[in-house]
Amino acid sequence: MCRGSGNRGPVTSFVALPNRKSLQLLLEALICLLALPNRKSLQLLLEALICLLALPNRKSLQLLLEALICLLALPNRKSLQLLLEALVQKLTARWLDLGRDKPHVRTMTDKPSLDILLCAPRGFCAGVDRAIQIVDLALKKYGAPVYVRHEIVHNKFVVDGLRAKGAVFVEELEEIPEGTDAPVIFSAHGVAKSVPAEAKHRNMFFLDATCPLVTKVHVEAQRHAEDGHDIVLIGHRGHPEVIGTMGQLPPGKITLIETVADAEAFAPRDPDNLALVTQTTLSVDDTSAMVMVLKSRFPNISVPAKEDICYATTNRQEAVKAVAPKVDAMIVVGAPNSSNSMRLVEVGERAGCRVSVLVQRADDIDWDQFGDISSLGITAGASAPESLVEEVIEAFAERFTVNVEIAVTAEENIAFNIPRVLRQLEEASGH
């Protein structure tokens, strides 16, 4: 089973500190010492050391940590505790003096505080998780290469990681060598009917990683067509999911609506014989506005019993709506070609956040936009891995004293099966 991973535990503010190995060893030793009766002193000591790790002379701090790690093995713990406290006080005083003598040197008092509200749910949804696992498991079962038509999900970090394992990404089947027995995988966004038909014609072995919620829209469109309806699709022209959905039926059978203006100008052949489907990764509010126009103009239009916009898109937008008004800035971790990620940026802006931006990873952060903030919201699109969220938090922790809180607005426990041919491998790997 593949599960969405929208809710995660707290993130520590220590991850961005300079000497991680030394800190890890020191923390482990201090954890042992925490069994001693005077816990308050040790807590203060630990907090002081963590603050000191942000000071400029890291080499001196590294030597201090290494010395402390050795000292922690000594038998007289009370003497050790007093020694550690004295060392911390002395070093703190020295660095504060240095900071006064050299204004350009940052001291612990210069590092501004930053409250981070981490949206939950965020990041991978069940459909994305399933698609990535299909590629991973195919590589394990069949070996490299495994061909993937289009990016399996819209995230460069994920695609590059799979490429390093042996996945080969192509835009069209004609790019795949004739006669190959390597698996061909269709992306999570879905494909037109002509694509699997061509794969069968070329005797290709293919696996379909289309998100089941996208497949549901395909089935709805085909059912409406069989009932004789003309179909209206709300979506973004050129997006792979829209291309795939429109490709389920003959040309001209589906009309694409992208804006409220399109909905107002739409002139159908038979106004009383319409059916509506939508792309799964749209703005909930924008889509509702277009649906309202269509229903007011064409009261007999058949609309889905349940929103086609997927649960993950809806949940992530609701989380941003809850967090954005409370923070000075909002970061969405995701790719510019990811529809659901771009919609999250727009939702943040509309919710009143003065800075709402997309970053693919920490290196993309424009620090001029975040110089005077005291609070920050962070979320991630449905195709962005949690490691990139942690990377962004680490980058802010290098410049701020961060306090991270999780803002939970929904729980997710959706699970999708992978193709049967890979299921035994999945069970063996413990997913």
Radius of gyration of the chain (CA): 27
CB-CB contact of 417 with 367 (8 Å): no
- The per-residue pLDDT for range 256-289, each reduced to its tens digit, is 999 999 999 999 999 999 999 999 999 999 999 9
Provide the whole-model pTM: 0.73
Exposure letters 86-102 (e unless 16+ CB within 10 A, then b): ebbeebbeebeeebeee
State residue 25 phi and psi, 5-degree precision: -65, -45
What per-residue confidence (pLDDT) applies to 95? 41
From the list 290, 296, 319, 312, the residue with the least C-alpha distance to 377 is 319
Residue 68: Cβ-neighbour burial (10 angstroms; 0-12, 13-18, 19+): buried
Residue 281, phi-psi category: left (phi > 0), alpha (psi -120 to 50), beta (remainder): alpha
Q: Phi then psi for 328, rounded to 5 degrees? A: -80, -25
Annotate 153-202 with DSSP letters as a single string. Answer: SS-HHHHHHHHHHTEEEESSGGGSPTT--S-EEE-TT---THHHHHHHHT
* Strand-pair partners of 416: 2
Compute the average pLDDT of residues 142-160: 96
Q: How far is 129 from 138, CA to CA, in rounded Å?
A: 14
CA–chain centroid gap for 361, Å, is 10
| 34/22 Cα distance (integer angstroms) | 18
- Catalytic: which of 151, 241, 391, 426? 241
Chain centroid offset of residue 179 CA: 37
Q: Phi and psi dihedrals of 355, rounded to 5?
A: -130, 115
- Residue whose tokens read 């593949």: 2
* H-helix or E-strand spanning residue 269: none
- How many residues are there in the chain? 431
Average pLDDT of the residues in 305-321: 90
203: its two tokens: 């005797």
Cβ 209 vs Cβ 186: under 8 Å: yes
Task: Give 158's pLDDT tier (boundaries 50, 70, 90).
Answer: very high
Give the whole-angstrom CA distance, residue 46 versus residue 44. 5
The answer to which of 111-115, 166-170, 426-430 has the lowest mean pLDDT is 426-430
CA distances to 2, 32, 293, 396, 422 from 139, in Å: 17, 43, 47, 36, 11
Lowest average pLDDT, out of 114-128, 298-312, 389-403, goes to 298-312
Residue 70: what pLDDT? Answer: 53
What pLDDT, on a 0 to 100 scale, did the predictor assign at position 111? 86
DSSP at 367: G
pLDDT tier for residue 159 given thresholds of 50, 70 and 90: very high
Cis ω for the linkage preceding 145 (within 30 of 0): yes
pLDDT at 98 over 50: no
Would residue 241 show up in a list of annotated catalytic residues for this protein?
yes
Least reliable range by pLDDT among 28-42, 216-230, 255-269, 346-360:
28-42
Please state, in angstroms and rounded to a whole number, the distance separating the CA atoms of residues 137 and 133.
6
Query: Mean pLDDT over all residues of the chain?
Result: 83
Average pLDDT over residues 191-214: 97
Question: Rounded CA gap, 423 and 364, in Å?
Answer: 38
Distance CA 401, CA 17 (A): 11
- Pairing between strand 274-278 and 230-234? parallel
Closest CA to 33 of 73, 83, 66: 73
Q: What percent of the chain has pLDDT over 90?
A: 69
| Rounded Cα gap, residues 251 and 272, in angstroms | 21
